[in-house]
Structure 1
Amino acid sequence: MALTLASAARLLEQHHLLREIIQNDHWSLDPHRFDDADTPFEDVTYDTRTVKPGSLLFCKGRFRSEYLDGIDDKGLAAYVSQTDLSSATHAAGLIVDDVQKAMSLLSAEFYGRPQDHLTVIGITGTKGKTTTNYFTQAVLNAFNGGRTALFSSVDNCVDGHTYVESDLTTPESLDAFRMMRQAVDNGMTHLVMEVSSQAYKVNRVYGLTFDVAAFLNISPDHISPIEHPTFEDYFHCKRRIVVNARRLVLGADCAHADLIREDAAAAGVPVSTFALHNGGRNHGTPADVIAWPLDDAHDAYEIAANGLDLGSFRLSLDGDFNYLNAAAAVALVQAAGFDTHDPKALEALHAMESVHIAGRMEQFRDTESNTLAIVDYAHNFASVNALLDFVEERYGDEHPRITLVTGSAGDKAMDRRKEIVQASQHRIDRLILTFEDTDTEPVIDICRQMLGYVTDPNLETSIILDRTEAIETGIAEARGHADDGRLNVILVIGKGEEQWVKDHGRHVPYEGDNRVVERVFKLGDESR
C-alpha cells in the first residue's frame, strides 16, 4: 500500500505521535483538508540535497529552517518535523512529538514493511555482536542457499554475498528499511543485524519486532554526555530489545541476567540460553547451548544443544570468547527454527569455522624476528581484558614482551579511556598512545588523559600521534628485542581494517591497522 499524506497521518495518530498538520496558515488534524492527501509519495529522505518531486522529508536532528531554502523548487511534497516550518516552505508539514519514531514507522510503510517478509534476528551486547552476527549469517547462508542479509558495524550485505562498508552499528531507520526492501527484492529470507544501545536511545528501530533477539552480555560502555549519561541508562536502552522480540537468546553468565529474565517474563517472551564451559562440559553455568574445549590448548571446542552433541569445531577466529559467540549463534539459529537434528543443519553449523572478519583477531607473524602482531577492534575494558586473557592463555608460557598500541574515540565514550588503561597496564610492558577518531576534541588531550591514568611505574609509555608511525615504532622496538629470546607480542586495537580515521568530523584516508602490519612485516595475503 502506497504511503500518502492521509495514510501517514493515520499511522502517526495510531501511535499518538501526530500533533497537527500545518500548511501555510492552515492547521488541521484532517489530512483531506489539504491538497493531494491521497497522492503517493515518490520518495522518503532525511537529506534536503536528495529531495525531488513528490518527496517526504524528515527534518531530524539539529535541523534548521534555512536548510529548506529553495526546497519548494525541488518539488517537496511534505515534511515531518517537531517544529512548524511553514515559514520556509509551502509543503504540508506533519508536526510530531518525535521525528525519529515517526521516521521509523513511515519508512517501514513506504518500503512495504519488508520486515514482514524476513525472519529478523537482532543481536545486542557490549561485546561479541559483530562476530556472532557473522557466525549466524554463515550458518543460515549455508543452510538456505545464501539468502541471509546482514547489517553490522563492519559491513552491510543485502544479497547474501556482497559486503559494503557500513557507517553505523545499526543503520538509521530509513536506511535500514530501504536495505530490508532491497534484501527482500533480492530473494533474502533472513536478516541478521547488530542492535546498538544508541539504536534504542535515538529510536532507529522503533516499531521493529525481532523474530529472535540475542542479549550476549553487558558491561559499562558508551558512557558520555552525548551517548549515555550513566550505566543504568546504557543498560536500560540495551534491555529494550527484550520486549521488542518474539524469542530471546541470553548469555547464561550475563551480568544482571535475572533482570533481563524479568523483562522477558513480563513481556511473555520465551528465553533460551548459551554458555562457555572452559572447565569442561559439566563445569559451568547450565545452559541450553554450551561449548567447551577439547584439550588444554583450547584449539577446538565441542558444542552441544539441549544435550545433543553437535560435533567439534575449530574456528578461524581465535580466542575462547569466539567459541562463546559461536554458542550464541547456535542458540540463535535454533530459536529461529533451525532443527539441529537435521543432518543438513548440522553440516551448516560448520560454516562458522571458515568465518574471517578482517581486523578482528587477525594474527601476523614477522619473518625477521620472534614477533606476533594481533590486530583487533578491542576498545573497552571487557574486550581489552579478553584479548589479554587470550594472549596469556596461548603464549603465557613464553613470557612475552607485550606492546599495546591504542587510542580512544574523541567526544564520546569517555569511560573507555580509563578502562583501556586499567585493563592493560599491569599486563603489558609497553603502551603507545595514538590517534583515534574524533569530532572536535584534540587527540593529544585524549592521549594525555589516558596517560594520566597510568599508575604502574614499570610500564613504558609514550604518545605518538601519527597512527602509522605508532605501529611502525612498536614493530621496530620489538625487532630490537629479537635477540633476547622472548616472544614479542604487539596488540594494535581500535581501528582494525578501517581505511580511514575521523578527524574533526571528516573521514581522512588511512592505510588500515592490518595493512600497516602486513606492509612492515612484508607479508602477502597468505598471512591472513
Structure 2
Amino acid sequence: MKLNQLLERLEYEVTQGSDEIEITTLINDSRKVEKGSVFVCISGAVSDGHEFVSEVAEKGAYAVIVEKEVTAPEDVTVIRVADTRYALALMSAAYFGYPAEKMRIIGITGTKGKTTTTYMIKSILEEVGHKVGLIGTIEAIIGNKKIPASNTTPESFTIHQYFAKMAEDGCDCVVMEVSSQGLMLNRTAGIPFEIGIFTNLGRDHIGPNEHKDFEDYKRCKGLLFKQCKLGIANVDDPYFKEVFSGATCRTETFGFSERADLRAVNTHLMSRPGYLGVSYHVTGLLDFDVEIDIPGKFSVYNSLTAIAVCRHFQVPAKKIQEALKVAKVKGRIEMIKVSDDFTLMIDYAHNAMSLESLLTTLKEYNPARLVCLFGCGGNRSKERRYEMGEVSGRLADLTIITSDNPRFEEPQGIIDDIKTGISKTNGKYVEICDRKEAIRYAIEHGQPGDVIVLAGKGHEDYQEIKGVKHPMDERVLIKEVLTELKKQKKTQSR
C-alpha cells in the first residue's frame, strides 16, 4: 500500500522523502516496528513516540508521522500533521479499507449506563436477525469470539482492526461505548456514527490522568454529536442542553419528562425473594408495555435508550419486549442466588454517582436492610473515596469497607479515606481488608429480607496490586465461601 493512500483524508506536509513510497504496516508502538513500517509518533502520558524516531529507523521503518520537529535519517520519509492521534485514527480507517462504512455504527457516551445499554441494543437487534459487533468496557464481541477489554474505547488502530474483523464476519452493525477520553484522544475520529447516544453526565473521570475539570469532561462528551447523523439524548439530564450545544446532528430525546419524544409512564417496581425488576409503559413515538429483570429507574433509562435506537431499525414491539426480558450484563446488578432469605448482587458501581443511583434504587424496594460492600481503586482521586464513603454511610444500613484494586497504594490507606467520608454520616460500618473475608462476613450475617450489594468490581476478574493483576472473580469467591460455610456447618453438626 502506498503511504499517500493512508494519508488521503488528512492534511499533511512532506518534510522529508516522498509520500509515494510503499509501506508494509501501520504501527504506533515502537516495539512492533518492522521493515517497511510507517510509525506514528504519539505523545502519550508515559512516553513520547517522537523520541523513538532513530530507533524505529534502525528497525527498518520507511516513514514516520510527526507533529513536532524531529531529526530522522535521510532515507526515512517524514510527514508532519497537526495531531498524530487524529492522523492515526484516519490512517487506521484507510489501512483496513474503511470497514466502518460497511456497517451501521452506534456510539454510546455518558457517565453511566453505557455498558448495560450496549448489551440491550445488541440483544434486541439480534432478535430480528441482525449480526451485531460490540466494543465496550467488558469486552469486544466479534461473532462467537470475545476479547477482554483494557479500555472502554480502545486505541483507534484496534477499533478499525475490530471493525474489519466484524465486517468480514458478516456484521451489519456495531454498538460501541464511546468514553470521554476516547473522544478527547481522537480514538473515534473519522468514524461515521449513524447514531450517537447521550445517557447522562456526572462528576467523574476528573483528575491528572483524565480530564482537567468538569467543563472539559462535558465538552468531550459533546464531541460525539458533531460526528453522528442522529443524536438520541436523555432529556431529563440537567446537562443535556450543554452537551448538545455544538451538536450538528438531528436530535431525538427519551426520559420521563413530558418533553421527551419517547417516554416512560406508569412505572412499577416488582420484587420477590431473590428477584428485583421493573415494569413501565412506553409512550410518545411508540406505545407498548415493558418488563425487565433488572431493578430501578436507571434500568428504565437504559431500556428506553435501547428502544429509541431499535425504533430506527424497525424492530417490532413484541421482539423488543422479548429481548429486554432476557437481556443480562455481567457485573451490572447481577443477582447471585446464595439464600432463600436475602438477595445478593454484584455491580460495577465504582464512583459516587453510580453508587448513589444504585443504592437509592435498591432502597425503593424497601429491603429489611441494605448492605453495601465496596472499596476504592488506588492511584485515583481521594475525592472519589470520600464521596463514596459518604454516599454509602448515608444510604446503606451497613457498609462493609474492603479492598478493590489498591494498585501501588496501601489498602489500609484507601480504607481510611473511605472512613473519612463515612464519618460525615451516622452510617454503621465494619472494615475487612481481605475482599473474600468481607464477602464471607456479608453472607454469614445476611438477614431475612436483606439486599446485599458487592459494589465496584462488577465484571472484573482480577485484583491489581503493585502493578500485577492477580486472578479474583467475585463469583468464584462467593462459591468458595458457600462451599466453606457448608463444610463448616457439617463439622459443627457432628
Task: Give the shorter-chain TM-score range.
Answer: 0.7 to 0.9
Aligned partners of 2:62 and 2:75 also within 8 Å: no
Change (3 A) 1:65 1:289: closer
Q: Does 1:297 align with 2:282?
A: no
Aligned partners of 1:373 and 1:491 also within 8 Å: yes
Query: What runs of 5+ residues in structure 2 fail to find an aligned partner?
Result: 272-276, 485-494
Give the SS at the match of 1:308.
coil
Change (3 A) 1:77 1:115: same
Partner of 1:155: 139
Partner of 1:42: 24
Encode CA deviations 1:371-395: one digit per residue, 9 max, x unaligned: 322110011222112211232122x
Aligned partners of 2:53 and 2:64 also within 8 Å: no
- Aligned partner of 1:5 among 3, 19, 24: 3
TM-score by length of 1: 0.83
- Aligned partner of 2:391 among 423, 431, 445: 423
Q: Does 1:131 align with 2:116?
A: yes
Partner of 1:513: 474
- Aligned partner of 1:329 among 306, 309, 315: 306
Within 5 Å, give how 1:95-494 maps onto structure 2: 95-143=80-128, 145-159=129-143, 161-264=144-247, 267=248, 269-276=249-256, 284-293=257-266, 295=268, 297=270, 299-304=277-282, 306-310=284-288, 312-334=289-311, 337-339=312-314, 343=316, 346-367=318-339, 370-394=341-365, 396=366, 398-400=367-369, 402-456=370-424, 458-476=426-444, 478-479=445-446, 482=447, 486-494=448-456
Deviation at 1:136, TM superposition (A): 0.8
Aligned partners of 1:219 and 1:255 also within 8 Å: no
C-alpha distance in 2, partners of 1:167/1:9? 28
- The AA in structure 2 aligned to 1:353 is K
Aligned-pair identity in percent equals: 27
Encode CA deviations 1:299-333: one digit per residue, 9 max, x unaligned: 452443535323x3332333331122111111112
Deviation at 1:189, TM superposition (A): 0.8
Encode CA deviations 1:435-489: one digit per residue, 9 max, x unaligned: 223554444332222221223564333443332232223333x15xx4xxx5333
Deviation at 1:416, TM superposition (A): 2.2
Change (3 A) 1:261 1:92: closer
C-alpha distance in 2, partners of 1:122/1:302? 26
Aligned partners of 2:372 and 2:400 also within 8 Å: yes
Encode CA deviations 1:344-400: one digit per residue, 9 max, x unaligned: x64255212211111111123433x83322110011222112211232122x1x531
TM-score by length of 2: 0.88
C-alpha distance in 2, partners of 1:163/1:150? 9
Aligned partners of 2:266 and 2:281 also within 8 Å: no
Deviation at 1:182, TM superposition (A): 0.8
Deviation at 1:66, TM superposition (A): 6.9
Aligned partners of 2:131 and 2:173 also within 8 Å: yes
Aligned partners of 1:53 and 1:77 also within 8 Å: yes
Query: What runs of 5+ residues in structure 1 fail to find an aligned partner?
Result: 24-30, 277-283, 524-528
Aligned partners of 1:252 and 1:285 also within 8 Å: no
Change (3 A) 1:383 1:58: same
Partner of 2:64: 79
C-alpha distance in 2, partners of 1:85/1:464? 53
Change (3 A) 1:88 1:153: farther
Deviation at 1:294, TM superposition (A): 5.8
- The AA in structure 2 aligned to 1:139 is I
C-alpha distance in 2, partners of 1:239/1:270? 14
Change (3 A) 1:152 1:413: farther
Deviation at 1:186, TM superposition (A): 1.0
- Alpha carbon RMSD of aligned pairs, Å? 2.7
C-alpha distance in 2, partners of 1:307/1:235? 28
C-alpha distance in 2, partners of 1:515/1:102? 43
Aligned partners of 1:86 and 1:93 also within 8 Å: no
- Aligned partner of 1:500 among 459, 462, 466: 462
Aligned partners of 2:88 and 2:157 also within 8 Å: yes
Change (3 A) 1:305 1:350: farther
Aligned partners of 1:65 and 1:88 also within 8 Å: no
Aligned partners of 1:410 and 1:446 also within 8 Å: yes
Aligned partners of 1:224 and 1:414 also within 8 Å: no
Change (3 A) 1:121 1:408: same
Deviation at 1:275, TM superposition (A): 1.2
- The AA in structure 2 aligned to 1:229 is K
C-alpha distance in 2, partners of 1:317/1:134? 13
Give the SS at the match of 1:328.
helix
Give the SS at the match of 2:394.
coil
Aligned partners of 1:213 and 1:242 also within 8 Å: yes
Deviation at 1:413, TM superposition (A): 4.5
C-alpha distance in 1, partners of 2:245/2:468? 43
- The AA in structure 1 aligned to 2:368 is H
